[in-house]
Amino acid sequence: MSIDVRAPLRARALGAALGALALAHAAPARAQAPGSLDAEITRRVAEVQPRVVAWRRDIHQHPELSNRETRTSQLVAEHLRSLGLEVRTGVAHTGVVGILRGGKPGRTVALRADMDALPVAEQVDVPFRSTVRTTYNGQDVGVMHACGHDMHTAMLMGVAQVLAGMRERIPGTVEFVFQPAEEGPPAGEEGGASMMVREGVFRDPKPDAVFGLHVWTQPVGQLFVRPAGAMASADNLRIVVRGRQTHGAVPWGGVDPIVVGAQIVGALQTIASRQVNVTTAPAVVTIGSFQGGVRQNIIPDSVVMLGTVRTFDDAMRKDIHDRVRRTAEMIAASAGATAEVTIREAAALTYNDPGLTTRMTPTLERVAGSAGTRPSPLITASEDFSYFQREVPGMFVFLGIVPPGTDPATAPANHSPKFFADEAALPVGVRTMATLALDYLMGGSGR
């Protein structure tokens, strides 16, 4: 699929016109009432919009992998300090936390953005495309913001500037959390949201609620949210099948782990399709890597399989783990081989607090309009924002970034080398996060 992005990019200059046009499209008329906080947010978002675009393009052109976000975190920290925020750096390696204390007493709300890129070589023809290459797991790879974290970081930097300019009117405290390693830390390292939590990101102050936002392949400027389970839990699966090496011409002289592994792969597919009640919640068991052997006429000693398990229900999650272990071990035993199964949690269930989501959905409707706010489908991708939601009530919102005239169903998805995000979504995201924070601190979703 080919997308001509240069023309729309030229048409969207770095001026305030972009912010004004996008906001006029996104905001209902009543949000523009003179003297209201909504009107002030709208004005401030338009003012900061050129900087948000510039930050986004700079971060996009200089992507950094998980736990390596040193340049990005420095950019963020310098900006937060320039606004007079209390800034903490080095959280979970490269994370940055900024504290904005309002002019009036009140509660605390946290806003989160992730900063890391992916080992993907960009194939989108934009002036600020990434040409960065680095080493990842021993391989030379391209690096690209193929999941929109460049937009998340730039938008939250914009939110910090908007709210810092209104601090005397804010009843409470806003905590800005810029998180590294959402895509998962490198092998042998710790990182991400769970590490930030362990290092006390929510200890002082402790937020009463946390909000996050993620760009997604939906129409630009639209917002999507659902209460309760929104994104699946993710577990990393590793199965090592050990047989006995022999000549390929005399397979009876050993135990073939490749054949045993193939039987296990096939049997694992019956867990979700035949063994669990999929009317309770969907589930996925995928084997994404199968490695074994070095030569055509040698049956190897062992094979290694890597995969993922995705679920939306904790009881089903445990049941599937048990079934995976039993299936692999028993099939291996039946052939005289062994199977060693390791299942490690990669992300918990992203769970939107139902009460908080119901209360704050009118805020989303004020930003994007009732027609621009939709229920989100269940998403089998995962997010480690879930670890923040384990600490305090949270809500995770999706923001559409597919340009007009492009079918979202055919647009390159997140993690694709052709992933493209329309910058017209940026002011909508800034306004969404700023308005959520203020509405929550003021005790409601309307003013």
Task: Give the DSSP letter string of 242-291.
Answer: E-B-EETT-GGGSB-HHHHHHHHHHHHHHIIIIIS-TTT--EEEEEEEEE
CATH of 6-231+349-441, one of 3.40.50.2020, 3.10.105.10, 3.30.450.40, 3.40.630.10: 3.40.630.10
Main-chain dihedrals φ then ψ at residue 136, nearest 5 degrees: -135, 120
Alpha carbon distance 350, 395 (integer Å): 9
Q: Which of 342, 325, 340 is nearest to 242 (CA)?
A: 340
Q: Which of 150, 197, 218 is nearest to 348 (CA)?
A: 197
Determine whether 204 is an active site residue: no
118 DSSP β-pair partners: 144
Rounded mean pLDDT of the chain? Answer: 92
Q: Would you call the peptide bond into 205 cis, given omega within 30 degrees of 0 as the criterion?
A: yes
**Residue whose entry in the numeric block shows the structure tokens 């930003």:** 367
- Domain ranges in the chain are 6-231+349-441, 233-347
pLDDT per residue rounded down to tens, the chain (447 residues): 333 333 344 343 333 333 333 333 333 333 333 338 899 999 999 999 999 999 999 999 999 999 999 999 999 999 999 999 999 999 999 999 999 999 999 999 999 999 999 999 999 999 999 999 999 988 999 999 999 999 999 999 999 999 999 999 999 999 999 999 999 999 899 999 999 999 999 999 999 999 999 999 999 999 999 999 999 999 999 999 999 999 999 999 999 999 999 999 999 999 999 999 989 999 999 999 999 999 999 999 999 999 999 999 999 999 999 999 999 999 999 999 999 999 999 999 999 999 999 999 999 999 999 999 999 999 999 999 999 999 999 999 999 999 999 999 999 999 999 999 999 999 999 999 999 999 999 986 544
Q: Burial level of 350, CB count in 10 A (0-12/13-18/19+)? A: buried
Q: Burial level of 236, CB count in 10 A (0-12/13-18/19+)? A: middle
Alpha carbon distance 199, 91 (integer Å): 7
What global pTM score does this model have?
0.89
Q: Is 357 helix (H, G, I), strand (E, B) or coil?
A: helix
Determine whether 423 is an active site residue: no
How would you label 399-417 residue by residue, b for 16+ Cβ within 10 Å and e otherwise? bbbbbeebebeebbebebe
Architecture of domain 233-347: 2-Layer Sandwich (3.30)
Q: Which of 150, 182, 384, 422 is catalytic?
A: 182
Q: Which of 64, 69, 114, 116 is catalytic?
A: 116
At 118, list the tokens.
């992916």
SS3 content of the chain, % helix, strand, coil (to 5): 40, 25, 35
Alpha carbon distance 311, 389 (integer Å): 17
